Amino acid sequence: MRILKKTPNIDFIGKRRPAVFISTVLNLAILVGLLTVGFNFGVDFAGGTVVELKFNHPVRADEVRARAEAAGLKDVSVQGIGAASENSFLLRLGGTTQLTAENAQAVLKALQGMGETSNFFTDVENGLINFRSTSKLQPETVRAAVAAAGLGVKEVRDLGPAQGGGQDYQIVASGMADRITQGLSKGLPAPDFTTQRIDYVGPQVGKELRNKGLAALVYSMVAILLYVAFRFDLKFAPGAVLAMVHDVIMVAGYYLVTRREFNLTSIAALLTVTGYSINDTIVIYDRIREEMAKYRGKPLPDIINIAVNETLSRTILTSGVTALSLVGLLIFGVGEIWDFAMAMLVGIIVGTYSSVYIASPLTIWIDQRAAARARAAKSTGVIHAG
């Protein structure tokens, strides 16, 4: 079986200038969008809470979302996981505790209403409130007052007498997971779901994960640059790396435009796309090197055209088969699997395109610049000799 019965003769390189122009405009537009709007960071990077719930009756994602919004969870994200018959959902909510700067002030007023208090300190990130009372208070009384102020309380700790007099207390705010489960159980005699999993990611951890993920992309590109420069020729390496950067930006544009969550799975998709992109580019580069030895003296654009046409059948088969597997994931996959498959499909399309219209034109430009410098040096030498 052959997709193409005979080698085509398509002038790919002749259309490189409009292709490069369009790619440049799209890449610049995406970069501007990333700088002004930015990604819709998921819990992995932005920090927050993820709760997996399994309902004991058939329910749809929109119904779960409606219940959450009715309970005051306006910014919750609901995502179905597994088969529809499993009735399992992931609920994501920003933040790890219910303590905020706003409700901390309400708690302060509530505590002041219980008597003279001082040394009021809030740790919003960890959900802690410390204060000192001139008189001894019952933890249950403090809990009731704080709950009435609108803050869920996990625990009230009596820290004992203070050195300067009075009694120290610490309030531990409830987590966002409690807010989710309590909100969805509101108005029911008993919860109609079970909590399967709870994950917390603090903002500092999220920032560290994001930085390490982006660093992994940069390191992989540098390693590929060195490999291509060593394996082929220095003039080939910049084209391969620029094609990878182009593909990463285009896939990032998919996340920017669709506002799908950008998380660790997205980084995995970008790393996979870079590997796929360089794989296709290397195949074309290897054929170019063979044709350069075969057609000595032939212009490089013509040689690249021959190489691209000769590898076209292989490119169609490889990209097509990979795309088919991704289409299967898009049809049957949900949640992060669907996002990964879609990002990969975009990456395969732009990766195949960039091997021809990004990597090859830059190689031609570098070759032409080197030839122009050689002619200039030779001309200067002739003038001096005369």
Residues 333-386: tens digit of each pLDDT: 766 788 889 999 999 999 888 888 888 888 888 877 877 787 777 777 655 554
- The label of the residue with tokens 């509101």 reads 186
Q: Band of the pLDDT at 198, cuts 50, 70, 90?
A: confident
Strands 153-161 and 128-133, bridge-based pairing: unpaired
Q: Which two tokens stand for residue 109?
A: 């007023």
Would you say residue 211 has pLDDT above 70?
yes
Say which residue, 59 or 231, is predicted with more confidence.
59
Q: What is the pLDDT of residues 35-52, one digit of tens each?
A: 999 888 877 777 778 888
Alpha helices in 232-311 (DSSP H): 237-258, 264-294, 300-310
Say which residue, 170 or 363, is predicted with more confidence: 170
Pairing status of strand 117-123 against strand 128-133:
antiparallel
Least confident residue range of 7-11, 143-147, 298-302: 7-11
Tell me the pLDDT band of 125, cut-offs 50, 70 and 90: confident
pLDDT tens digit string along 78-121? 878 777 788 888 888 777 777 877 888 888 888 888 877 888 88
Mean predicted lDDT score pLDDT of the chain: 83
Residue 10 main-chain phi, psi, to 5 deg? -95, 135
CA dihedral (12, 15, 17, 19) in degrees, to 10, reads -80
pLDDT at 2: 60
> How many other CB atoms are there within 10 angstroms of residue 386's CB atom?
5
* 251 vs 261: which has the higher pLDDT: 251
Q: Spell out a b/e string for 288-327, using b for 16 or more CB atoms within 10 Å of the CB, else e.
A: bbebbeeeeeeebbebbbbbbbbbbbebeebbeebbeebe
Q: With cut-offs at 50, 70 and 90, classify the pLDDT of residue 33.
A: very high
* C-alpha dihedral sign at 346, 348, 351, 353: negative
Tokens of 376: 């200039």
Domains (ranges, CATH) in the chain?
13-41+203-385 (1.20.1640.10), 48-96+177-201 (3.30.70.3400), 101-170 (3.30.70)
pTM above 0.85, yes or no: no
Are 176 and 93 in contact by the 8 Å Cβ rule? The answer is yes
The Cα 89–Cα 53 span in angstroms is 5
Residue closest to 184 by CA, chosen among 82, 70, 98: 70
For CA atoms 250, 252, 256, 258, the dihedral sign is: positive
User: In this structure, what token pair is assigned to residue 11?
Assistant: 């002038």
For the record, the structure tokens of 123 come out as 């740790």
Most distant CA pair in the chain, distance: 104
